[in-house]
Amino acid sequence: MPGARPYITVYVDADACPVKAEVYRVAQRHRVRVRVVSNSLIAMPADVLADPLIERVVVEAGMDVADNWIAERAARGAIVITADVPLAARAVKAGADAIAPTGRAFTEDSIGMTLATRNLLTDLRDAGQITGGPKPFAAKDRSAFLSALDLAIGRLKRAGFPAG
């Protein structure tokens, strides 16, 4: 139908995502579409596999293939779940919401500095200056993520984007 808004769709960069179960739970409650994207088959609970709104997408192996698949579909009305800052930047540029598994929302205002910081830290690691990794994923991160995802879906519904 001309002028119809696309359905709210959550794209999960799934290969190393610690909040897939939370995405399924929130998406099923709100009845929104989910695309779980990975380079290999990701295990999913039977009830999730049976849900017609949740789809497992396995792309071919290769550097950034899953990221590219998601970025090509990111648009207003989409929510991208990723810890990958360059993918988040591409999603935000396309008008999508982007949320890290820690609950941090990437925005137009924050993504430039976030990307610059990520690039600086990559350069420092490559030069041997930084040897530690990210802090461990904690229960407060899971709680912050659930809140951020609920808020993003609510905002899109209020903006007129339909659920599944």
d(CA 109, CA 17): 24
Whether 39 is in a domain gets the answer yes
Whether 114 is in a domain gets the answer yes
Whether 109 is in a domain gets the answer yes
Whether 19 is in a domain gets the answer yes
Which whole-number Å values give the CA distances from 52 to 14, 48, 49, 92, 154, in the listed order?
18, 9, 8, 27, 21
Whether 4 is in a domain gets the answer no
Q: The domain spanning residue 136 has which CATH number?
A: 3.40.50
Instruction: Tell me how many domains the chain contains.
Output: 1
pTM for the model stands at 0.86
Pairing of β 54-58 and β 33-38 = parallel
pLDDT at 145: 97
pLDDT at 4: 64
pLDDT at 41: 94
Whether 91 is in a domain gets the answer yes
How confident is the chain (164 residues) per 10-residue block, as mean pLDDT? 77 94 96 96 94 96 95 97 94 96 87 62 69 79 96 96 90
Q: Is 37 helix (H, G, I), strand (E, B) or coil?
A: strand
Whether 55 is in a domain gets the answer yes
Whether 2 is in a domain gets the answer no
pLDDT at 117: 63
* Token code pair at residue 142: 């899971």
Full domain range(s) for residue 15: 9-158
List the beta bridge partners of residue 33: 9
